[in-house]
Structure 1
C-alpha cells in the first residue's frame, strides 16, 4: 500500500506541502504508514461514529460520506504540482499533520486512500538545548530544523469513509 505515494505536510493554515526526501527515506516512511494503517483498520470491526462510543482495541470508528479538502486530493493527484515544504520568511510553516496517499481508478471513478499522522510538538527537534545524533562512533550536535515521524497514524481515509480509533485526536486536524 502507498507504494507510489509521496509524503506530504498539512500546515496549520491547511496548506499542503510536498516533503522533499530521497527515495530510500520515502519508501521507509511509506512502509511505516502502511503498517500503521493495517494495525489501525484491518481485521477490526468497523463501527459508525455517533459521538458517544469509545472503541475497543479490536474496533475502529468511521464516518461515511466524508469529504476531504480539494487541496489534499489535488496534491495526491499531482504531487509534482504541490509546493515544497520549505522556509518562508525565515521559518518553516507550522505542521498540523503528515500524510501519504494514493489514487486509483475504479469503474471510471477516482478512489483515494490516505493515512494521516497528527503532528505533535514533541516530534519537532528543539532549537533550545542540544540535539545529539549518533554518527559512526561518536555523537554529533545537530543545529538544523528537523522533526520525527512516529510509527502510528490517527486516521485513514478510503473511498468516502474516514476511519479512526479516537475521535479526540482525529477531530483536532480534520478539514
Structure 2
C-alpha cells in the first residue's frame, strides 16, 4: 500500500487538490505517515469532545458522526479524479491542511491529517538551499515541509485529535462544543489574568456569541500560554480595546463594561485577527474585512 498526498484548501474552486509525487517520494511518504499513525493511535483513552475538556497524556478527544462536508473520503477513494496542486506561492497560502489515507479492510476509509500554515512553505522568494552530497544546492521550485506528527484522524465518521486549536484550523467545530454556562463565565472572570469589576454585569452581557467565545478561549489556553505584554502589543497594532490594570503588583486584563468592547476583546483573544502575509493588511478572519473600513 502506498499513500497519496492531498491538500485541503480555502479556495472553493479547488477545495481538494492532489500532489504529483515521484515514486521514491511516495514510498518515503508512506513510511513517514504510517509511523505517525502508529504514534497517534497509541493514545487509547477516547474523551468525547465538548469544547471544555483538555486531554491529558494517553487521552485523545473524539467526535462521533463527524460530518465530512469536504468529502475527504472521496479523495482517498478516487485520487485520479482530482486537479493537481498549483505550484505557486499564492496558491500554497490557500492550503489549510495536508492529508492522506487509505481504504480499510472493512471498506471504510481512514484519513490522516496535518494542519498547514505558511511557515511550512519553502518559498521561491529569496534563495532557498538544501544540503546534499556534501554541498548546498539551490531549491529550484516551491516546496513544503511535511510535519512530524498528525493533527487528527477521521475514520468511518469518528474524528480524533489532541489539540482543539490545531484541529480548528482545519475544520469548523463550532457545532460540536457547548456554550459556556453561568459557572463557566464566572470561572473565566476569576482567571489569574482577568479582572471583572462586576460579574453580574458580565453575565448580563453574555449572550450566545459571548458564551461561545469564552468557551473557545478557555479551551485554547491562550491566556495561560501567551504573556500579557505580547497580547497587549498585538492588540495595540490592531487597535483592539485592551485595558489592563495593576493589582498587587500583577498586570491584569480588565473586562470591558460594554458589550461592544467585550466582543472585540473576546474575538481578539480567540485569535480571529491576523495580518495578511502578502499585503500586510489587517483582517478579521471570519469575513476577511479590512479593519477600519
Gaps of 5+ in 1: none
Q: Which has the higher contact order (CA 8 A, sep 6+)?
A: 1
Cα separation, 2, equivalents of 1:117 and 1:5: 14
* Larger helix share, 1 or 2: 2
Whether the 8 Å CA contact 1:41–1:60 is kept in 2: the answer is: no
Alignment of 1:155 onto 2:152: yes
* Larger strand share, 1 or 2: 1
Cα separation, 2, equivalents of 1:26 and 1:87: 18
Cα separation, 2, equivalents of 1:85 and 1:171: 23
Deviations 1:118-169 (A, max 9, x none): 0122110133443121122211222421111111111001111000001111
Alignment of 1:165 onto 2:162: yes
Aligned CA distance change for structure 1 residues 43 and 70 (closer, same or farther; 3 Å)? closer
Q: Which deviates more, 53-62 or 39-48?
A: 39-48
Alignment of 1:135 onto 2:132: yes
Cα separation, 1, equivalents of 2:11 and 2:150: 20
Q: Which deviates more, 90-99 or 160-169?
A: 90-99
Given the two structures, how large is their TM-score scaled by the length of structure 2? 0.53
> What is the match of residue 92 of structure 1?
91
> What is the match of residue 54 of structure 1?
54
Given the two structures, how large is their TM-score scaled by the length of structure 1? 0.86
Whether the 8 Å CA contact 1:12–1:96 is kept in 2: the answer is: yes
Q: Give how far 1:85 is off.
A: 1.0
Provide the alpha-carbon RMSD of the alignment: 2.1
Alignment of 1:144 onto 2:156: no
Cα separation, 1, equivalents of 2:71 and 2:153: 17
Alignment of 1:29 onto 2:26: no
Cα separation, 1, equivalents of 2:125 and 2:2: 37
Structure having the higher Rg: 2
SS at match of 1:173: coil
Whether the 8 Å CA contact 1:41–1:163 is kept in 2: the answer is: no
> What is the match of residue 6 of structure 1?
4
Q: Give how far 1:5 is off.
A: 3.0
